[in-house]
């Protein structure tokens, strides 16, 4: 990917004169993306600028370091985390950063930045479809926020966090569906889905499928015979498909 000069400038500007988050926070961001080797020396501004540019264009070997190739995935993870922190702490012009990040292919929703990639795979296209539907319905802001956090966690390979956030987005979507159909306010989680079934909004077979996923998504640990990544991918697929199904049921 090519990160625009404007994006790099906005992400780096808060660190001028020693401002912005601390050295330890900067290091934590790069460590979280497994990109510590790309983070150079110097003051905070020099480290952030150098770290972003090294991830984007690579770094030549020197006496003190090995050559490093460009790494788009790590760059996206670093930018997403860095931008989210800067916006949360009012270090940047949020509207301007939102605009340039969107132009560079990132997804931004209520201050949460997702390192999205081109939707080349069917699962990615479905996920993008769900995200687009979330944006068009203000009643789904909670579910949308959980989904954005899940995507960010999935992209940085934090499988446990991704699993939890996809489950939370799934729950919040069906809670919102029940509320949209005038369910009592106390109906949440399983009781909301049961209410939807009782009202005939969810057919019996669909309700059983949804209930099965809720049990699967609620248990701890990975499924036997699956890697953590494969287990998280499975949960992402099911959660996204069922969320899309629920969104089709909105009045």
Tens-digit pLDDT profile for residues 145-189: 999 999 888 877 888 899 999 999 999 999 999 999 999 999 999
- pLDDT of residue 48 exceeding 70, the answer is yes
Q: Is the pTM of this model over 0.75?
A: no
Concatenating the DSSP letter of every residue in the chain gives ----HHHHHHHHGGGGGG-SS-HHHHHHHHHHTT-GGG--SSSHHHHHHHHHHHHHH-B---SSS--B---HHHHHHHHHHHHHHHHHTT-S-HHHHHHHHHHTT-EEETTEEE------SHHHHHHHHHHHHHHT-GGGHHHHHHHHHHHHHHHTT-HHHHHHHHHHHHHHHHHHHHHHTT--TT--HHHHHHHHHHTTSS-HHHHHHHHHHHHHHHS-SPPTT--HHHHHHHHHHHHHHHHHHHHTT--
Better-scored residue on pLDDT, 116 or 187: 187
pLDDT tens, position by position, 238-251: 999 999 999 999 98
Q: What is the mean pLDDT of the chain?
A: 87
């Amino acid at each position: 990917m090519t990160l625009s000069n404007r994006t790099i400038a906005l992400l780096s500007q808060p660190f001028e004169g020693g401002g912005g988050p601390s050295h330890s926070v900067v290091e934590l961001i790069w460590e979280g993306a497994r990109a510590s080797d790309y983070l150079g020396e110097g003051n905070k501004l020099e480290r952030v600028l150098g770290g972003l540019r090294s991830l984007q264009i690579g770094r030549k070997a020197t006496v003190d370091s090995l050559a490093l190739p460009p790494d788009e995935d790590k760059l996206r993870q670093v930018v997403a985390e860095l931008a989210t922190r800067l916006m949360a702490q009012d270090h940047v012009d949020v509207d301007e950063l939102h605009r340039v990040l969107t132009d560079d292919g990132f997804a931004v929703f209520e201050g949460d930045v997702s390192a999205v990639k081109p939707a080349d795979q069917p699962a990615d296209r479905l996920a993008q479809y769900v995200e687009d539907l979330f944006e068009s319905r203000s009643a789904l802001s909670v579910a949308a926020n959980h989904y954005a956090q899940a995507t960010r966690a999935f992209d940085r390979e934090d499988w446990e966090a991704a699993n939890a956030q996809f489950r939370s987005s799934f729950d919040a979507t069906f809670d919102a569906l029940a509320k949209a159909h005038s369910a009592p306010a106390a109906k949440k989680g399983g009781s909301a889905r049961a209410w939807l079934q009782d009202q005939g909004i969810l057919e019996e077979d669909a309700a059983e499928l949804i209930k099965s996923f809720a049990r699967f998504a609620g248990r701890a640990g990975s499924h036997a015979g699956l890697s953590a990544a494969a287990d998280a991918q499975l949960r992402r697929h099911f959660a996204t498909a069922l969320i899309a199904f629920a969104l089709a049921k909105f009045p």
